[in-house]
Amino acid sequence: MPVLLDCLANIECRVVATYPAGDHVLFIGEVVGGSLLKPDADPLVIRDWEWGRYVKTEGKNPG
pLDDT score, position 4 = 79
How many Cα atoms within 13 Å fall on the side-chain side of residue 10?
10
- The overall pTM is greater than 0.85: no
Q: Read off the pLDDT of residues 17-29 as tens digits, 9 standing for 90 and up.
A: 999 999 999 999 9
> For the domain that residue 31 is a member of, what is the CATH number?
2.30.110.10
How many domains are contained in the chain? Answer: 1
Strand partners, 6: none
What is the residue range of 23's domain?
Answer: 1-63
The closest of 22, 54, 51, 29 to 41, measured between CA atoms, is: 54
Decide which of 25 and 8 is more confident: 25
The beta strand positions in the chain, using DSSP E, are 9-21, 24-36, 45-47, 50-52
Mean confidence (pLDDT) of the chain: 84
Between the two ends of the chain, the Cα-to-Cα distance in Å is 40
Q: Confidence class of residue 14 from pLDDT cuts 50, 70 and 90? A: very high
